Amino acid sequence: MNQGRYLIDFNLKDIEKEYYDVLIIGSGIAGVYTALEIPEEYKIAILTKESIDISNSVLAQGGIAVSLDKGDSPEFHYRDTIYAGAGLCDEKSVWILVNEAAQNIENLLKFGVNFDKESPEQLSLTREGAHSKNRIIHAGDSTGKEVCDKLIYVVKAKDNIKIKERVFAVDILTEGNVCKGILALDEETMSLKAYISDIVVCATGGFGQIYSNTTNPDVATGDGLGLAYRAGCELMDLEFIQFHPTVLYHHENKSFLISEAVRGEGAILRNVNGKRFMPEYHELNELAPRDVVSRAIFEEMVKTGSDYVYLDITFKSTDYLENRFPNIFKTCLGYGIDISKDYIPVAPAEHYCMGGIRTDVFGRTSIKGFYACGEAACNGIHGANRLASNSLLEGLVFGHKIGEEVVEILKNRTDNYALDIKSRNNYTKKEVNIEGIRKELQKLMTEYVGILRNRDGLMLAKQKIDSFYEEIGNLKSETIKEFELQNMLLISKLVIDSSLEREESRGAHYRSDFNKTDDEKWKRNLLKVRN
């Protein structure tokens, strides 16, 4: 079954409309910062399917990478990013990222973001995996929350920015290949509404919820990628999915991130027998790239017949750990784990999607007027494996670039709102076990499209997802869960197709049946676009 161009039947003439200069979908760091980069004379709406403070960004613990130390430079940051990306980074995008990092951090300081400091004039710097220098600025172990809280506070004070909470973006409205707005579902009234604008920025985050174990919040169901694909946007690098090596493994919680910054402060990994193992896998030991550490942990779990390994930072004092990692210390203590005395049980879990909606450095997609930023976008920065703490930075740098681009368009724009858009796919209502399919999908993706992959497993997952499509058929989606499942099935199918196509191992994509990197055939990006 192929999804229709739109997930719902409608006639735009019959739908309530609101008009804006710019629409932004998503309220993480990329969406909110982009809104603040657009001058106040323009009318902006931020649409978010939950409350504005629920996003991947808010959960980000470690920090933001920026070369501020005397012994560091954008060139070193560039080199480390390229190395982690395993040959698939876009060099132009990375160069912009590292060179425009400092000015955007300066903007955050002006917005009142309170980073940890060595002195009144100097920010504290730590190191994370695959970084050659100490360049991670942080706010305790809740950096994402601190940044988002401050940005949201500023946004709420702006008269030109309207925050539309519990509004689910169903599809982009297009005429030809031109963006005209968003078709959305108001979750309070369960009625359709059209938000009309010829500039839409997609900052909806990733799609971690297609996996059983993920650090992502429940909202990360790939909705932005789904609506972009249906409208004809190119998606890129979907096979590259990062599994964070160290996520708390506890029967009450298997999604709480134990920040890479803990390893940056010297923590070591031990298997369940107490043996340190990372020196056997990589010269950078615990600070090797995330894909290397995740596979090493997975291999140790298989060797020892365990579902987890240990992270050991017991050589640090209680006072130090409570001050440096207050959220991690408190959370672990709540589960009976005193990290100053006890090893932390951890296992890898899905964390970040390197792939997304293909964009250039100004966030432009293959649809005129439609932009993407943050984890929903793919401009080639991360290549096959994201360097730690480049994600929040990406949202800032390219949110700023989109702001620059949008201002130039708005200056020269002529309004054209004579819209006649309709869709008639004759969707029908039927009884479908939405929650059952969702859970089975997540289990399939975790088992066969996770850290280790092979053709047999990928084909089995592909066939099962095809059967889900058959079961759903021409479903008339009316609830958020139904729309989310449509997007999750679509993205899962595209991830599997990309993983089958790439017959090599590179970065976060590891095929046990093609376990070597093959630059001659595969040093290239894979695109997926609707036929």
Which residues have a catalytic role annotated? 290
DSSP string, 320-350: HHHHHSHHHHHHHHHTT--TTTSPEEEEEEE
Q: How many CB atoms lie within 10 A of CB 416?
A: 10
Strands 344-353 and 309-312: antiparallel
Pairing between β-strand 235-236 and β-strand 356-358 as defined by DSSP bridges? antiparallel
As a whole number of angstroms, the distance between CA 401 and CA 206 comes to: 20
Q: Hey, which residues does 195 pair with through a beta bridge?
A: 18, 182
Distance CA 340, CA 343 (A): 8
Q: State the distance between the two ends of the chain, measured CA to CA, in whole angstroms.
A: 13
Torsion angles phi and psi, residue 431, rounded to 5: -85, 120
Kindly list the strands in the beta sheet with 161-165, ordered across the sheet, starting from the edge strand earlier in the chain: 161-165, 44-48, 22-25, 200-202, 370-372
**19: which strand partners?**
196
In which order are the strands placed within the sheet that holds 235-236? 377-378, 356-358, 235-236, 527-528
Q: What DSSP state is assigned to residue 356?
A: E
Give the burial class of 520: count Cβ atoms within 10 A of its Cβ; 0-12 exposed, 13-18 middle, 19 or more buried.
Answer: exposed
Tokens of 434: 């939405």
Question: What does the DSSP 8-state code read for residue 297?
Answer: H
